[in-house]
Amino acid sequence: MAAENHERAHVHVSGRVQGVFFRDATSQKARELNLSGWVRNLPDGRVEALFEGPSENVRQMVHWCETGPPGSEVKNVDADFETARADPTGFEVR
């Protein structure tokens, strides 16, 4: 059962976000923030991610995605926030 003050964010990041270690950097940052979820490249050039954990940390992660790692050029971040659904299970690069 998901704890109170936990949430989930489903995020789509566009710009120059593939081939610049965006997924690896996202995974590292999410683990630092004790978030569960996943990140993957999409065929259209965007990166998609799901972050789940303490609300403050989820919001911090989404904010981080607005800049991304060095070498990336983020044009847009679309984030849908909702109540957390699952217990933390780790973070994976898909």
34 is catalytic: no
57 is catalytic: no
Amino acid at position 93, single letter: V
Of 16, 40, 41, 59, which is the active-site residue?
A: 41
Of 8, 23, 46, 57, which is the active-site residue?
A: 23
Catalytic residues, which ones?
23, 41
